[in-house]
């Protein structure tokens, strides 16, 4: 089920919307047919009399679950943005500290730029496939060696601070890779999908006496639910197109650190 769900999320945005709309429009059409046109309609019509507040209770549960799901997704995207900013800020701070302390060297600048270039050019496209970049790992190791080599700084305290900065960059890098492969539990998505279907049934039961109002209410809810679920689906992964966290802060490092 996890692989099927991942494959669905990897579809283009129009396909995600169309697939959801086709499914829920199909269930709505089936419900209307069962209520008023099928051989079972007399049995279905025997449930007439359910009051409108019943629909509200099911709708509220659907709304709460959708809110919990969206909170997980937005929080993951915010974390991704913070990690990228922390990574870029620490790279620039490392260069600034080296310059201010007299430890600036062509090798240090080259190591910082090599790492930033590897992240933007090689690693960022791989994030959507949850893949590591060997080029980025090698550049990060080279930066660590450059800072850790004895005599790289005139002051041992400054060198220790620079080493801490590189370790912070490494931690942010690992956090970014972890977030790229993090996904909301399939059970949460499944619960929201199921509650959307149950909300359709609740709407249908409330409007059993009139087919046209029933069809109109089902269509309006279906359009709203599909729009919401599609929006959440395209934001599910913070580093996957079409909506993803850009590498802009890392690009700024290349602009601010001279070659």
H helix or E strand, kind and range, residue 108: helix 106-118
pLDDT at 154: 59
pLDDT at 74: 93
pLDDT at 157: 81
d(CA 201, CA 54): 11
Eight-state DSSP code of residue 43:
H
Give the domain extent around 89: 2-256
Which burial class, exposed, middle or buried, applies to 203 when counting CB atoms under 10 A from its CB (0-12, 13-18, 19+)?
buried
Count Cβ neighbours within 10 Å for each residue of 231-247 and write b for 16 or more, e otherwise. ebbbbbbbbbeeebbeb
Q: Are 65 and 191 in contact (CB under 8 A)?
A: yes
Q: What are the residue ranges of helices labelled H in 37-185?
A: 41-45, 53-100, 106-118, 124-127, 134-148, 156-181
The tens digit of pLDDT for each residue in 93-145 reads 999 988 887 766 788 899 999 999 999 999 999 998 888 999 999 999 999 99
pTM of the model: 0.85
Instruction: Give the chain's residues under pLDDT 50.
Output: 152
pLDDT at 1: 59
> How far apart, in Å, are the Cα atoms of 222 and each of 28, 69, 75, 190, 219?
8, 18, 26, 17, 5
Structurally, how many domains does the chain consist of? Answer: 1
């Amino acid at each position: 089920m996890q692989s099927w769900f991942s494959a669905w999320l990897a579809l283009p945005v129009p396909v995600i919307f169309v697939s959801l709309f086709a499914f829920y429009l199909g269930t709505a059409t089936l419900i209307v047919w069962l209520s008023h046109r099928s051989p079972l309609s007399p049995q279905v019509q025997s449930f007439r009399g359910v009051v409108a507040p019943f629909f509200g209770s099911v709708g509220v549960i659907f709304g709460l679950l959708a809110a919990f799901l969206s909170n997980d997704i937005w929080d993951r995207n915010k974390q991704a943005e913070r990690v990228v900013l922390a990574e870029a800020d620490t790279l620039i701070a490392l260069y600034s500290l080296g310059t201010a302390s007299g430890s600036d060297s062509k090798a240090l600048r080259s190591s910082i730029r090599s790492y930033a270039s590897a992240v933007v050019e090689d690693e960022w496209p791989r994030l959507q496939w949850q893949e590591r970049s060997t080029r980025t790992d090698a550049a990060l190791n080279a930066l660590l060696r450059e800072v850790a080599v004895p005599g790289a700084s005139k002051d041992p305290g400054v060198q220790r601070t620079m080493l801490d900065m590189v370790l912070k960059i490494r931690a942010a890098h690992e956090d970014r890779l972890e977030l790229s492969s993090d996904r909301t539990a399939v059970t949460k998505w499944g619960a929201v999908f199921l509650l959307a279907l149950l909300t359709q049934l609740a709407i249908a039961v409330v409007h059993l006496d009139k087919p046209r109002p029933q069809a109109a209410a089902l269509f309006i809810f279906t359009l709203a639910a599909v729009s919401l679920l599609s929006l959440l689906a395209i934001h599910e992964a913070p580093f996957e197109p079409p909506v993803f966290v850009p590498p802009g802060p890392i690009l700024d490092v290349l602009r601010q650190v001279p070659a």
